[in-house]
């Protein structure tokens, strides 16, 4: 496998200059403003076929037709209706010509697969969800199969069938092996995942998504200069970045000066030093040992740290409480890494034991830029604080490219094992009374991060997997790899890209018009965690027996608003009251707008309080719809 080392990112400003230079070239006097139907101000890299070729990108995929006031993109002889071209996030939204809005019998004209799109278009999988049209020889009772019109070709295989049953299936992971035995796939279409669908469990909702269309990114059009210099071009949020690597797959002669220098520099330096030292030794005999010693010293100093960023960070930290270990001490305490506890995206965790007796969990970081940032985030946040509900960082180790973090060992593992206990036979199911204590402990820990330190610490990844339990099932918040430090007076912060785990990320991470990103993002994640504690299930379950229970938070709100109880097996009256309180607090925490969510100190007060909590507005619709549909009073939180 080829080893790569990041050497220098090209400035984002330079890429933006290239982009606007292209636009200005396309919009000169020979390129008048073009429009067709709903698509206004068509400009580089797209152009109408009636405009000069110099007005668009030199690729036939970016030539648009205007027919009957419809803008049409043709790719591999397939025609699609252009619904929108977004020049700020480099996206284009397309509609299959076979889909008619409001017509639930219309069928996609094309089966839409990854291989059907040239490399210049990206994010086919990341930005879209498959919609599969199926026909079966026997009826299917699964709730995932929605009755639909027939969209296949009546082949001789089905000519003798007395009746064909037609369905449409919506979802991200649909395999041929998952289909019922008598079923076959007719069409695979796509709908945009960047738009919240109205209802993906009904035919009307699915066709509403199909009528909206699917999305692709054309940012790679602006990557020409980056790729010509063997850079890696990527889209981060609405910003294009270019990263250059010294790769063994590329001939050294084609790499930049810095890569060539890193390869030849040590070789030339050593031989040059020896040659110079030999000549100088004739006159300065006693200076030669000193010169060699200086060269060796500087060469060793260059390799003392894994990365200059980590070394500079550690030098700037004067108030860290964790102990700095040598890597040989790390190997001893883990018995040469003999007992592995788990593995993540950028690290592996081993069980260890300190010389003083206590067990520890040792996280060995991988050699990547992401693991480097995770190391800095962990040491920079929990390395300076201590709280009963936050995992303790006992120590760390940095030697050249080897980084390790030493935490207290928590024998009962992560909370997700006990919330979803039916999925893990070795986990003991906990009573709701203990679950309530765990939820309250997590709330206190987050409140401490937000308000108990000189700097505000935002976790950005609160979820059951990151809540660890000690021998008495006391919760401790862990995994601060995405955490950030901010001044306590910052109400809104700037982030370059969404942070966290899907299903727990606050909506303002994606939709800036509902409010800025702040500590309220952690409040939202905690609310989703509370919902899973109350339901003892994933919040989203497309295979639920009852369609109304696919999204648990919505179903729970409807139950409580209608005055119904949340039915839970084998619980006491007191536990049912606890579950109701947890759900109401969770509904407050997952309000759509950040200003409608309570701060964590208020959340702690609501959980600890002995008074009846007010029912919140429905968190899944606009505020005006809340007032009209439910008449529920809004209580804004600061």
Say if residues 600 and 477 touch (Cβ distance below 8 Å).
no
What's the chain's Rg over C-alpha atoms?
Answer: 30
How high is the mean pLDDT of the chain? 80
Band of the pLDDT at 632, cuts 50, 70, 90? very low
State the CB neighbour count (10 A cutoff) for residue 443.
26
pLDDT in tens, 527-566: 999 999 999 899 988 887 788 888 999 999 999 999 998 8
Report d(CA 186, CA 450) in Å as an integer.
52
Report, as an integer, the average pLDDT of 206-221: 91
Look at residue 334 and tell me whether its pLDDT is greater than 80.
Answer: yes
pLDDT in tens, 605-615: 999 998 889 99
Could you tell me the pTM of the whole model? 0.51
Q: Which two tokens stand for residue 76?
A: 């591999």
Instruction: Cite the annotated binding site by residue number.
Output: 363
Among left, alpha and beta (phi > 0; psi -120 to 50; other), residue 469 is beta
Cα 93 from chain centroid (whole Å):
22
Strand 347-353 and strand 359-365: the pairing is antiparallel
Active site residues: 461
Residues in contact with 480: Cβ distance below 8 Å, sequence separation at least 6, in sequence order = 377, 378, 381, 382, 457, 459
Q: Which two tokens stand for residue 548?
A: 């109304």
pLDDT in tens, 455-464: 888 999 999 9
Report the half-sphere exposure of 378 (CA within 13 A, side-chain side): 27
Provide the 3-class DSSP secondary structure of residue 132. Answer: strand
The pLDDT assigned to 3 comes to: 42
Indicate the range of 87-101, 477-491, 617-631 predicted with least confidence: 617-631
∠ CA 307-312-314 to the nearest 5 degrees? 100
Say if residues 360 and 396 touch (Cβ distance below 8 Å).
no
Look at residue 624 and tell me whether its pLDDT is greater than 70.
Answer: no
Look at residue 501 and tell me whether its pLDDT is greater than 70.
Answer: yes
The CA–CA distances, whole Å, from 524 to 176, 178, 285, 528 equal 36, 34, 72, 6
What the chain holds in terms of domains, given with CATH numbers, is: 4-223 (no CATH), 256-302 (no CATH), 308-408 (3.30.200.20), 416-630 (1.10.510.10)
Report, as an integer, the average pLDDT of 152-181: 72
Report d(CA 80, CA 455) in Å as an integer.
51
End-to-end CA distance of the chain: 52
Instruction: Cite the annotated binding site for ATP by residue number.
Output: 363
Say if residues 520 and 512 touch (Cβ distance below 8 Å).
no
The CA–CA distances, whole Å, from 460 to 413, 441, 485 equal 21, 18, 11
């Amino acid at each position: 496998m080829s080893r790569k080392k990041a050497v220098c990112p090209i400035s984002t400003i330079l890429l933006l200059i290239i982009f606007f230079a292209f636009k200005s070239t396309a919009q000169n006097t020979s390129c008048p403003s073009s429009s067709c139907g709903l698509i206004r101000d068509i400009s580089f890299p797209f152009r109408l076929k009636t405009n000069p070729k110099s007005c668009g990108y030199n690729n036939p995929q970016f030539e648009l037709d205007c027919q009957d006031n419809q803008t049409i993109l043709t790719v591999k002889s397939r025609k699609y209706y252009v619904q929108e071209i977004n020049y700020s996030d480099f996206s284009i939204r397309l509609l299959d010509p076979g889909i008619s809005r409001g017509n639930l019998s219309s069928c996609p004209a094309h089966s839409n697969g990854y291989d059907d799109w040239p490399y210049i278009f990206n994010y086919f999988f990341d930005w879209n969800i498959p919609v599969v049209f199926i026909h079966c020889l026997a009826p299917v009772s699964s709730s995932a199969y929605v009755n639909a019109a027939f969209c296949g070709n009546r082949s001789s295989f089905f000519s003798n069938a007395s009746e064909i049953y037609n369905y449409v299936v919506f979802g991200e992971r649909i395999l041929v092996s998952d289909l019922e035995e008598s079923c076959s796939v007719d069409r695979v279409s796509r709908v945009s995942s960047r738009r919240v669908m109205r209802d993906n469990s009904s035919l009307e909702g699915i066709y509403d998504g199909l009528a909206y269309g699917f999305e692709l990114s054309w940012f790679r059009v602006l990557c020409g200069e980056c790729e010509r210099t063997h850079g890696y071009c990527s889209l981060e949020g609405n910003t294009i970045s270019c990263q250059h690597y010294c790769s063994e797959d590329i001939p050294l002669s084609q790499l930049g000066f810095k890569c060539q220098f890193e390869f030849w520099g040590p070789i030339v330096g050593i031989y040059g030093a020896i040659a110079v030292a030999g000549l100088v030794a004739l006159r300065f005999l006693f200076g030669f040992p000193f010169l060699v010693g200086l060269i060796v010293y500087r060469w060793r100093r260059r390799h003392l740290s894994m990365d200059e960023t980590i070394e500079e960070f550690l030098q700037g930290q004067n108030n860290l409480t964790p102990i700095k270990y040598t890597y040989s001490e790390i190997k001893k305490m883990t018995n040469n890494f003999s007992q592995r506890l788990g593995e993540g995206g950028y690290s592996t965790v081993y069980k260890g034991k300190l010389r003083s007796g206590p067990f520890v969990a040792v996280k060995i970081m991988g050699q990547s830029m992401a693991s480097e940032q995770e190391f800095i985030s962990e040491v920079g946040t929990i390395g300076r604080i201590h709280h009963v509900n936050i995992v303790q960082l006992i120590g760390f180790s940095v030697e050249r490219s080897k980084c390790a973090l030493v935490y207290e060992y928590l024998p009962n593992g992560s909370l997700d094992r006990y919330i979803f206990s039916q999925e893990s036979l070795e986990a003991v199911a906990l009573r709701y009374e203990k679950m309530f204590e765990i939820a309250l402990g997590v709330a206190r820990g987050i409140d401490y991060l937000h308000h108990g330190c000189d700097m505000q610490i935002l976790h950005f990844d609160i979820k059951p997997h990151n809540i660890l339990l000690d021998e008495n099932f006391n919760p401790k918040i862990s995994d601060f790899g995405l955490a950030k430090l901010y001044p306590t007076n910052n109400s809104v912060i700037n982030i370059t890209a969404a942070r966290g785990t899907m299903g727990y990320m606050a909506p303002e991470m994606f939709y800036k018009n509902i409010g800025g990103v702040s500590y309220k993002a952690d409040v939202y994640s905690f609310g989703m965690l509370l919902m899973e504690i109350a339901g003892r299930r994933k919040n989203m379950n497309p295979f639920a027996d009852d369609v109304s229970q696919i999204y648990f938070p919505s179903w729970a709100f409807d139950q409580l608003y209608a005055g119904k109880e949340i039915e839970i097996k084998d619980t006491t009256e007191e536990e049912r009251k606890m579950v109701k309180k947890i759900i109401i607090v969770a509904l407050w925490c997952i309000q759509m707008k950040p200003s409608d969510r309570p701060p964590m100190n208020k959340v702690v007060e609501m959980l600890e309080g002995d008074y009846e909590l007010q029912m919140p507005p429905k968190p899944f619709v606009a505020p005006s719809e809340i007032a009209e549909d439910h008449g529920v009073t809004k209580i804004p939180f600061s």
